[in-house]
């Protein structure tokens, strides 16, 4: 979506406050055009839904039960969840879910369920796992062990096998990365389950963090194992990443028999308490519902194919100019060596240790990629007006 520069003259604020708002919008308008390092789509327009912003809507409680709070979008939320359930090959009437505030909440929910099922269980996660997971583990006081990662970001299965062998008598809670933050690496669920089977570990729970890849893998021809048909117990997918939303959001889905263990009736709101938060955003489900019906599966497939095409183009262009770049199968994350901090800062490129990455989202154009690569090659001179260039 092209960000519109608007007027704040109708705001009931002082001239100085209106000016501050306009200055912020002008800055956002410029910076949004140089936004290559983070997995957030800008290709959306929900302006027709703006009338809902005039009401105190709240999706408090369980989306599948009635609530005393009638200003909600639960019926639309349930349609969103049904779409994702089918997309993720969930068993009929076998999963429960809700629209979250983002991937971190979805991951917390998955670990929370695993911990409630196995109070003394051990959480296993790799060192390339999202930075929020150690924090979640501290909040939940969950026992945990970090597993080594391979150089490409994928879990080190030998280290996992050796570590889990030491704790064979302890239920295992596996946190699987279906697309790591920096490299887009995907932990192999088949190998993980084989290791569990070889060591006769039958008490286990698998949560999949598919924040970005969860909206990629369903629309490619040869996806890696990642969904309920692959034996997961819960999954977290972001809504503001590949689909796009002005408000961070996501979807958490889990097997219904697991959720039943934590459900509590709350008389005050007349519904079940089955989510992490009490009050929940009722607008995000409308955004996701709108996008699903606007694009449909064919539209999403076309969008994903374009993102992958631009990712391939980015890898090729960087390699052509002597910058070693690569990406994982079915990933739109392009990895290359960290260089020229001034250029990386200008284009808001994420970095970690000695690598950097570009993530080719639906709004990422080849023109932007070319402009970024030109900057890498030439560098940015001190007197360049970097705020005046736009590449769309």
CA 322-326-332 angle, to 5 degrees, is 130
CA distance 300 to 296: 6
DSSP string, 94-114: -EEEEEESSHHHHHHHHHHHH
CA distance 242 to 226: 17
Instruction: Supply the DSSP symbol for 118.
Output: S
What ranges in 244-365 are assigned the alpha helix state H? 256-259, 284-320, 341-346
CA distance 253 to 259: 10
Give the residue among 123, 149, 334, 304 at the shortest CA–CA distance from 218. 304
The CB-based long-range contact list for 308-311 (8 Å cut-off, 24+ gap) reads 308/220, 308/332, 308/360, 310/360, 310/364, 310/365, 310/366, 310/369, 311/360
Residue bearing tokens 């890498």: 376
Radius of gyration of the chain (CA): 22
Structure tokens at 374: 């030109």
Query: Is residue 93 left, alpha or beta, with left meaning phi > 0 and alpha meaning psi from -120 to 50?
Result: left
Give the residue among 138, 147, 194, 139 at the shortest CA–CA distance from 175. 147
Structure tokens at 11: 């705001």
Residue 152 CB neighbours (<10 A): 13
Question: Which residue is catalytic, options 41, 245, 284, 331?
Answer: 331
Q: Is 234 a catalytic residue?
A: no
**CA dist 68 → 14, 58, 63, 129 (Å):** 40, 11, 12, 39
Cα 29 from chain centre: 23
Q: Which residues are catalytic?
A: 331
């Amino acid at each position: 979506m092209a960000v519109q520069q608007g007027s704040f003259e109708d705001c009931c604020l002082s001239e100085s406050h209106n000016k501050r708002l306009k200055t912020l919008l002008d800055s956002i308008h410029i910076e949004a055009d140089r936004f290559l390092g983070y997995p957030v789509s800008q290709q959306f327009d929900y302006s027709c839904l703006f009338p809902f912003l005039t009401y105190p809507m709240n999706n408090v409680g369980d989306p599948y039960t009635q609530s005393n709070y009638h200003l909600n979008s639960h019926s639309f939320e349930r349609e969103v969840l049904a779409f994702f359930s089918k997309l993720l090959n969930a068993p009929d009437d076998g999963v429960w879910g809700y629209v979250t505030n983002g991937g971190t909440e979805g991951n917390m929910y998955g670990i929370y369920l695993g911990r409630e099922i196995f109070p003394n269980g051990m959480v296993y996660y790799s060192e390339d796992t999202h930075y929020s997971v150690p924090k979640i583990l501290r909040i939940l006081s969950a026992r945990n062990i970090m597993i080594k990662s391979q150089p490409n970001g994928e879990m080190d299965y030998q280290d996992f096998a050796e570590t889990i062998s030491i704790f064979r008598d302890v239920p295992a809670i596996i946190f699987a990365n279906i697309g790591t933050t920096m490299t887009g690496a995907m932990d192999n669920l088949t190998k993980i389950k084989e290791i569990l089977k070889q060591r006769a570990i039958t008490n286990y729970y698998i949560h999949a963090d598919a924040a970005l890849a969860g909206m990629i893998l369903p629309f490619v021809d040869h996806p890696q194992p990642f969904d309920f048909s692959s034996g997961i117990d819960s999954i977290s997918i972001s809504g503001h990443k590949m689909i796009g939303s002005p408000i961070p959001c996501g979807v958490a889905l889990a097997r219904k028999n697991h959720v039943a263990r934590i459900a509590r009736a709350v008389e005050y709101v007349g519904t079940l308490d089955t989510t992490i938060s009490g009050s929940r955003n009722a607008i995000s489900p409308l955004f996701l519902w709108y996008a699903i019906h606007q694009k449909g599966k064919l539209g999403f497939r076309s969008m994903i194919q374009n993102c992958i095409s631009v990712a391939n183009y980015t890898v090729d262009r960087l390699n052509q100019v002597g910058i070693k770049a690569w990406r994982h199968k079915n990933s739109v994350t392009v990895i290359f060596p960290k260089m020229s901090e001034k250029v990386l800062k200008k284009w808001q490129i994420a970095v970690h240790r000695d690598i950097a990455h570009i993530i080719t989202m639906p709004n990422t154009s080849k023109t932007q990629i070319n402009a970024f690569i030109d900057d890498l090659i030439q560098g940015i001179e001190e007197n360049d007006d970097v705020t005046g260039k736009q590449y769309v």
